[in-house]
Amino acid sequence: MGARVRIVATAALALGAALLLGLVAGCQRGASSPPFDEARALRDLEAQTAFGPRVPGTEAHRRCREFLAGALAEAGGRVSVQAVADTAFPLPGVDTLYNVCARFGPAAGPYLVLGAHWDSRPWADRDPDPARRGEPVLGANDGASGVAILLEVARILGRRLPPVGVEIVLFDGEDAGDERDPATYARGSQAFAAALTPPLPLHAVVVDMVGRRGLRLYQEANSRDAAPNLVDRLWAGARKVGSPAFIPEVRHNVFDDHIPFIRSGIPGVDLIDLDDPHWHTAQDVPANCDPGSLGQVGRVLLWHVYTLEAEGP
């Protein structure tokens, strides 16, 4: 997860909101969302961290990419890997990043993006022990948690056709930035958004740092500014499915993988818990994550996808 910064939304976002309203109005009412297997999501989190820190350019990064593409294909997704040339990436010898994508549901028509970053930070620069600040971060919460949720969502999408297309995108190169320059973060999502062609997604929902014990998800400020209807819908869904970690108050403004969508005129929302004390430290490990937290977020995403025909934003 990257830097904190406020982004001002543009009027172009009204188009995405109007499309979402039209989709909601035009679909059949009465859908329900399927259950979410939080224990399996935790196993997916642990499987990612078992490779080690997923720092671009490392063997762990390559092996995890293969694992993610295979898991999405096994779930029934139409998988593609977007190779992103990035000569400005700050790690020596790394000039290519890899976004792992999978489309579920109808091949044509409206679709939405569910995203998370799968790379981990090369430096534990916030660790309380100065001697450890040069170590790579395992990224159990910051990276693996969001991906784990989306892998389990993918399995469900593969078994039960969603009412709208869903593009799951696992972004690379999110977490090697410099906090003094927010644009150095979210490298993969910046490239993904820049390459989009019509029809554009209705909106994007990004999940990041959503697995810690004691999860508390406040509304992120840029998301609230850019996509208030979508924020309201997600937090209303949290009440319906019993996810009390969703707090209906604004807290933090973050440059994360939702920002490139917002800048492209696509409503974007970031579900993120930036108050994790283990953020960018060597203590970001599976033992500090909770399957119940993964379940709270997974249930909201499934509710959002499968009840678009039943609920308005």
Domain regions of the chain by residue span: 13-306
What are the counts of helices (DSSP H) followed by strands (DSSP E) for the chain? 9, 8
CA distance 148 to 91: 26
Averaged pLDDT, 87-106:
95
Give residue 181's pLDDT band: very low, low, confident or very high (50, 70, 90).
Answer: confident
- C-alpha 304/C-alpha 70 separation (Å) is 25
d(CA 257, CA 195) in angstroms, rounded, equals: 15
- What tens digit of pLDDT does each residue of 2-28 get? 654 444 444 344 444 444 444 443 333
Length of the chain equals 313
Q: Does 73 have pLDDT greater than 90?
A: yes
Distance from C-alpha of 95 to C-alpha of 82, rounded to nearest angstrom: 14
What pLDDT digit, counting tens, does each position of 36-53 carry? Answer: 999 999 999 999 999 999
**Ramachandran sector of residue 143 (left: φ over 0; alpha: ψ -120 to 50; beta: rest):** left
**For position 2, what pLDDT does the model report?**
61
% of the chain at pLDDT higher than 90: 84
Quick: pLDDT tens for 278-308.
Answer: 999 999 999 999 999 999 999 999 999 999 8
Closest by CA position to 300, among listed 165, 162, 166, 149: 149
Q: 165 pairs with which residues across the strands?
A: 111
All residues at 6 or more sequence positions from 43 whose CB lies less than 8 Å from its CB, including other chains: none
Q: Which of 101-105, 175-179, 219-223, 287-291 has the lowest mean pLDDT?
A: 175-179
The position carrying tokens 């927010």 is 182
Residue 31: pLDDT band with limits 50, 70, 90: low
Q: Is the dihedral of CA 281, 285, 288, 293 positive or negative?
A: positive
CATH class label, 13-306: alpha beta
Q: Check if the beta carbon of residue 234 is closer than 8 Å to that of residue 269.
A: yes
- Poorest-confidence range of 30-44, 70-84, 141-155? 30-44
How high is the pLDDT of residue 183? Answer: 84
Q: How far is CA 197 from CA 257, 297, 304, in A?
A: 18, 29, 24
Q: What is the dihedral of CA 78, 234, 145, 179, to 10 degrees?
A: 110
Q: Look at phi and psi of residue 244 and say left if phi exceeds 0, alpha if psi is from -120 to 50, else beta.
A: alpha
Task: Report CA 156 to chain centroid distance, whole Å.
Answer: 17
The arithmetic mean of pLDDT across residues 200-205, rounded, is 97
Average pLDDT, the chain: 91
- Compute the average pLDDT of residues 254-267: 97
* Percent of the chain clearing pLDDT 70 (strictly above): 88
Residues near 87 by beta carbon (within 8 Å), at least 6 away in sequence: 95
Neighbours of 93 (CB within 10 A): 7
- For residue 245, what are its two tokens? 């970690």
Alpha-carbon radius of gyration of the chain = 18
Handedness of CA 267, 167, 144, 171 (dihedral sign): negative
User: What whole-number distance in Å separates Cα of residue 32 and Cα of residue 245?
Assistant: 21
**Average pLDDT of span 186-208:** 97
How confident is the model at residue 8, as a pLDDT? 42
DSSP assignment letter at 303:
H
Q: Quick check: 241 pLDDT over 50? A: yes
